[in-house]
Amino acid sequence: EAQVTQNPRYLITVTGKKLTVTCSQNMNHEYMSWYRQDPGLGLRQIYYSMNVEVTDKGDVPEGYKVSRKEKRNFPLILESPSPNQTSLYFCASRHSPFRGYYNEQFFGPGTRLTVL
Amino acid sequence: SQQGEEDPQALSIQEGENATMNCSYKTSINNLQWYRQNSGRGLVHLILIRSNEREKHSGRLRVTLDTSKKSSSLLITASRAADTASYFCATGDTGNQFYFGTGTSLTVIP
């Protein structure tokens, strides 16, 4: 089954304790992205990757890191989480990022993160 | 910010009625997409309309795009209880960033 998976689904942590949220897709998509969703703010893009070893900042990259060492995986790293990073996080992927070829994004089930 | 805004924020209708929600955005786009999100779950793509298209249909969905007004509308005809969800528009620019609106929460009453 074609899907995007995220782990963990739920996480409660404390300020400053480094964490990683994993994201994996099995559709051979070039493009992957991370979003956070907050009430009243909709979804905001954190980082995206157009292919292996190629990453770019989205709208709200501060406090986050990403890496793209393999095509299928795109982990989100919070080196020193703070309470304002409490949010619902979504990973997404899609096919070719080439301009002029736009298509749908497939979303993971979400990771609900609470930073105390 | 290029973020779009959906209107209304919340909509409640009876089953069988039509639901219309609107999306406005701020800058030039290459395409606009609509997504559905069931409570607390991932988003599911519904339909994509390109900037050179004015209207598109998919099953009970009808999307229009007016680039001169920087707005789009999503019409769901003959709504069902299963359509209860939040609906988001997302715009893509010439790069690879996507901007989502704040969503319309639709409740369809059986």
Residue by residue, DSSP assigns B38-107 as -TTS-EEEEEEEETT-SEEEETTEEEEEETTTTEEEEEE-S--GGG-EEEEEEEE-SSS-EEE---EEEE
- With CB atoms and an 8 Å threshold, state whether A42 touches B101: yes
Tell whether the model's pLDDT for residue B4 goes beyond 80.
no
Neighbour-count burial of A16, counting CB atoms closer than 10 A to its CB (0-12 exposed, 13-18 middle, 19+ buried) = exposed
- With CB atoms and an 8 Å threshold, state whether A104 touches B48: yes
Nearest to B65 by CA among B54, B75, B76: B54
Give the residue-averaged pLDDT of B58-72: 96
Strand partners, A78: A19
Nearest to B65 by CA among B44, B87, B43, B90: B90
Tell whether the model's pLDDT for residue B29 goes beyond 60.
yes
Output B102 or B85, whichever has higher pLDDT. B85
Tell whether the model's pLDDT for residue B26 goes beyond 90.
no
Tell whether the model's pLDDT for residue B50 goes beyond 80.
yes
Residue of B30, B43, B97 lying closest to A90 (CB–CB): B43
Nearest to B92 by CA among B49, B46, B43, B61: B49
- With CB atoms and an 8 Å threshold, state whether B3 touches A42: yes
Compute, in degrees rounded to 10, the torsion defined by CA atoms A20, A25, A30, A36: -50
Chain B interface residues (partner A, CB cutoff 8 A)? 1, 3, 30-31, 33, 35, 40-45, 48, 50, 88, 90, 92, 94, 96-103
Give the residue-averaged pLDDT of B89-109: 85
Q: What is the pLDDT of residue B40?
A: 77
- Name the stretches of chain A with pLDDT < 70: 97-102
- With CB atoms and an 8 Å threshold, state whether B98 touches A109: no
Q: What is the pLDDT of residue A1?
A: 87
Whole-number Å distance between alpha carbons of B87 and B36: 5
Whole-number Å distance between alpha carbons of A13 and B45: 31
Secondary structure of residue A113 in the 3-state scheme: strand
Whole-number Å distance between alpha carbons of B48 and B54: 11
Whole-number Å distance between alpha carbons of A35 and A11: 16
Q: What is the pLDDT of residue B3?
A: 65
Q: What is the pLDDT of residue B94?
A: 61
Tell whether the model's pLDDT for residue B105 goes beyond 80.
yes
- With CB atoms and an 8 Å threshold, state whether B88 touches A42: yes
Residue B104 phi, psi (nearest 5): -115, 125
Give the residue-averaged pLDDT of B49-66: 95
Residue among A102, A106, A114 with most chain B CBs within 10 A, to mutate: A102
- Please give the angle made by the CA atoms of B97, B36 and A3, to the nearest 5 degrees: 75
Tell whether the model's pLDDT for residue B107 goes beyond 70.
yes
